[in-house]
Amino acid sequence: MKFKISWPAGIVIALSAFIIFILSYVYKATFVSQYDHHLVSDDYYKDELNYQQEIDKLNKSAALKEDVTLTKVTEGLLIKFPSEFDPQKIAGTISFQRPSNDKIDFQFPIKLIAADYLILDKNLVEGRWNVKIEWTINGAAYLFKEKLMY
């Protein structure tokens, strides 16, 4: 027995298959947590308003004799602050943001005895991190940003 489909039935079958295909992607993008879509920042618009202040801090940081450096060592990640400042007077925060998973983001307050700050290896997962270090000293605010592959 030969199975024969007329051309109107073929069009209906093709359109139905296409609609099911598209709806499956809409379902996955909306309801499946594996395909979670979110902004990098929850306060995106608020952050955008403060962007000029951020640029000023970055420019002030770039004008220093030596900048903050990040070095991977066996114990973890070593952050070295500029030696021109007294490390005990530096205050601020170090933020690590994972673009692929915001659940493992973390932040540390800066409290230094020496010019070096060590982030232990157990706190960092291999992959890409956005590092943001904001610090103040003598009333001046500075900012350091870097994308890091750990």
| pLDDT tens digits, 40-51 | 666 777 777 788
Residue 39 has pLDDT above 70, yes or no: no
Of 125, 60, 77, 134, the C-alpha closest to 99 is: 125
Domain 44-149: give its CATH code: 2.60.40.10
Supply the pTM of this predicted model: 0.67
Question: What tokens were used for 148?
Answer: 């890091």
Specify whether the CB–CB gap between 58 and 143 falls below 8 A: yes
Domain locations along the chain: 1-37, 44-149
Write down the pLDDT at residue 1.
66
Of 141, 133, 140, 135, the C-alpha closest to 92 is: 135
Question: What tokens were used for 137?
Answer: 């000293």
135, burial (CB in 10 Å: exposed 0-12, middle 13-18, buried 19+): buried
| pLDDT tens digits, 111-144 | 888 888 888 888 888 888 899 999 898 888 999 9
State phi, psi for 59 to the nearest 5 degrees.
-65, -40
Specify whether the CB–CB gap between 22 and 14 falls below 8 A: no
Question: What tokens were used for 94?
Answer: 């170090």
At CA 76, angle to CA 72 and CA 79, rounded to 5?
65
